């Protein structure tokens, strides 16, 4: 009888423990999946790079911006939902929108007109570009965002977010942390954030060079990882060792801005465009266990 009572008590305790375990929610931990390889063919890239809709001025910048290699590094695929943040007058839009129009979705995220004349004019120019060429841009979408409280779409709705030469502007305006958090929110788990920006000298402090347009790579990585991203890889595709990063008008001394006009113009043209970091981040996938 005593043994039966003990067995009954053990069974009751075991049953209670199992019930409690079943009620306890599963815990999760982040796992960073491997980055996807680009599936765009050399022929597809060649077709858009040589497209008649591209201006000679934009084509001339291919040697500095390395668009094919950069998009391949970011794992660009023509069936993605891709958001380009602050595309300006649409240099990359000329390539991305045509490549995505059949199977994917290209979204250009522009700052609200309240952000100032520069952003209003850039958005108007982009809208005119898209409206004038429906064959290329008819399926492209333009959305507006407030940099102080940015939202780029429904949570986990995008495969890729790309931004080219914009982070320094957000840093100067103290908007960068909010922007990276919004990138994280809109990306699907496993999605890619691709960043290209002007790279500061090794060891340069942010405060010392903040107004120059250059940024320490470590600081950009921190912005992304603080938002939840994992740094998957970095590339020297857009490096320029001739860039000394010590100019009177900061990075805007170099082409394409050439803010000093004719002063030392030949020298700055010989240097070319800035030395740039190229970083690929991944939004981790949460695995239950």
C-alpha distances in angstroms, 208 versus 66, 134, 204, 212, 245?
Answer: 29, 45, 7, 9, 12
Q: What is the pLDDT of residues 193-203, one digit of tens each?
A: 999 999 999 99
| pTM greater than 0.95 | no
pLDDT per position as a tens digit, 11-40: 454 455 445 545 556 567 778 888 788 999
Q: Kindly report, residue by residue over 112-149, the tens digit of the pLDDT.
A: 988 889 899 999 999 999 999 999 999 999 999 999 99
Residue predicted with more confidence, 289 or 80:
80
C-alpha closest to that of 47 among 4, 122, 101, 2: 101
Taking alpha carbons only, the member of 64, 119, 70 closest to residue 96 is: 70
Residue 276, strand partner residues:
198
* Segments of the chain assigned E as strands: 28-31, 81-85, 105-111, 141-145, 158-164, 187-198, 230-235, 276-282, 285-288
Tell me what the pLDDT averaged over the chain comes to. Answer: 91
pLDDT tens figures, 151-201? 999 999 999 999 999 999 999 999 999 999 999 999 999 999 999 999 999
SS (H, E, C) 122-140: HHHHHHHHHHHCHHHHCCC
| 10: pLDDT strictly greater than 50 | no
Domains of the chain, each with CATH number or no CATH? 27-288 (3.40.50.150)
């Amino acid at each position: 009888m005593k043994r039966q009572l003990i067995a009954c008590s053990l069974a009751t305790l075991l049953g209670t423990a199992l019930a409690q375990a079943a009620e306890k929610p599963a815990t999760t931990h982040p796992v960073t999946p491997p980055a996807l390889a680009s599936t765009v063919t050399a022929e597809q890239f060649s077709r858009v790079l040589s497209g008649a809709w591209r201006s000679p001025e934009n084509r001339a910048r291919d040697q500095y911006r390395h668009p094919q290699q950069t998009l391949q590094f970011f794992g660009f695929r023509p069936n993605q939902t891709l958001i380009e943040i602050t595309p300006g007058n649409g240099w990359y839009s000329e390539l991305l929108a045509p490549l995505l129009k059949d199977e994917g979705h290209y979204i250009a995220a522009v700052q609200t007109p309240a952000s100032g004349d520069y952003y209003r004019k850039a958005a108007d120019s982009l809208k005119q570009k898209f409206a004038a060429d429906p064959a290329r841009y008819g399926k492209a979408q333009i959305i507006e965002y407030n940099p102080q409280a940015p939202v780029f779409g429904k949570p986990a709705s995008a495969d890729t977010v790309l931004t080219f030469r914009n982070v320094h502007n957000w840093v100067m305006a103290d908007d960068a942390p909010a922007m990276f958090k919004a990138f994280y929110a809109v990306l699907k788990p496993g999605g890619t954030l691709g960043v290209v920006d002007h790279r500061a000298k090794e060891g340069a402090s942010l405060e010392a060079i903040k107004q120059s347009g250059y940024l320490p790579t470590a600081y950009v990585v921190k912005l992304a990882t603080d938002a939840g991203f994992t740094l998957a890889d970095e590339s020297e595709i857009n490096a320029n060792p001739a860039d000394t990063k010590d100019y009177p008008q900061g990075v805007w001394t170099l082409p394409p801005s050439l803010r000093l006009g004719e002063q030392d113009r030949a020298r700055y043209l010989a240097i070319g465009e800035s030395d740039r970091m190229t970083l690929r981040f991944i939004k981790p996938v949460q695995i239950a266990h």
